[in-house]
């Protein structure tokens, strides 16, 4: 489970950086510093709880708990490892503990929402995620941030997460990755 969590944590970091790039390209202001840090933490907390819902479908309860705990700790480690990029002169361990506190807080929040196997996170799940980012972006971006999150960022993240976890959580004996129909160059 720790190895699986490491893969998903790296995916989460990559997805958070892609989301920031897309949002900046869409003219949202997300500046390096506290705003960037808060955005990344909220984004990763959303992914953590989405991954937990996916794991619920594929893993027994004890393995799901082990995976989700390992993922939360690994995401906290990723946030801490990149803290110098996120916050100027971070206090050692501060970013890690902030993420763990946020992840626990969001666990209670996201628990109120549904996550469908075919549709992914429901309207409320995605809207809540957007509302958390509404508090982070400047006021000029308030009119559109929830739409951006609900219609673009959350679906993109969930699509990548679902695809990756489907391959990694495939039952023993089943193929973990889709086979290519042809060789390269055919």
What is the rounded distance in angstroms from the CA atom of residue 5 to the CA atom of residue 165? 10
Name the one residue in this structure whose structure tokens are 């039952």: 171
For position 177, what pLDDT does the model report? Answer: 43
| Distance linking the first and last C-alpha atoms of the chain | 37
What is the rounded distance in angstroms from the CA atom of residue 63 to the CA atom of residue 86? 32
pLDDT per residue of the chain (186 residues) written in tens, 0 to 9: 888 899 999 999 999 999 999 999 988 888 887 888 899 999 999 999 999 999 998 899 999 999 999 999 999 999 988 876 666 666 777 888 999 999 999 999 999 999 998 889 999 999 999 999 988 998 998 889 999 999 999 999 999 999 999 888 766 555 444 433 434 443
What is the rounded distance in angstroms from the CA atom of residue 30 to the CA atom of residue 16? 12
Q: Report residue 5 as tokens.
A: 């969590």
């Amino acid at each position: 489970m720790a190895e699986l969590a490491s893969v998903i944590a790296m995916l989460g970091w990559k997805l958070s950086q892609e989301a920031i790039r897309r949002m900046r390209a869409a003219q949202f202001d997300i500046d390096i510093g506290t705003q960037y840090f808060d955005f990344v933490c909220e984004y990763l907390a959303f992914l953590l709880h989405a991954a937990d819902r996916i794991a619920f479908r594929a893993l027994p309860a004890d393995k799901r708990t082990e995976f989700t705990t390992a993922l939360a700790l690994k995401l906290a480690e990723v946030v801490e490892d990149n803290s110098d990029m996120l916050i100027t002169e971070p206090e050692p361990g501060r970013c890690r503990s902030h993420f763990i506190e946020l992840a626990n807080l969001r666990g209670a929040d996201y628990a109120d929402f549904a996550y469908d196997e075919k549709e992914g996170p429901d309207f409320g799940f995605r809207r809540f995620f957007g509302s958390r980012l509404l508090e982070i972006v400047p006021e000029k971006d308030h009119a559109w941030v929830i739409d951006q999150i609900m219609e673009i960022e959350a679906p993109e993240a969930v699509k990548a997460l679902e695809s990756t976890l489907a391959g990694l959580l495939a039952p023993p004996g089943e193929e973990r990755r889709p086979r290519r129909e042809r060789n390269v160059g055919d």
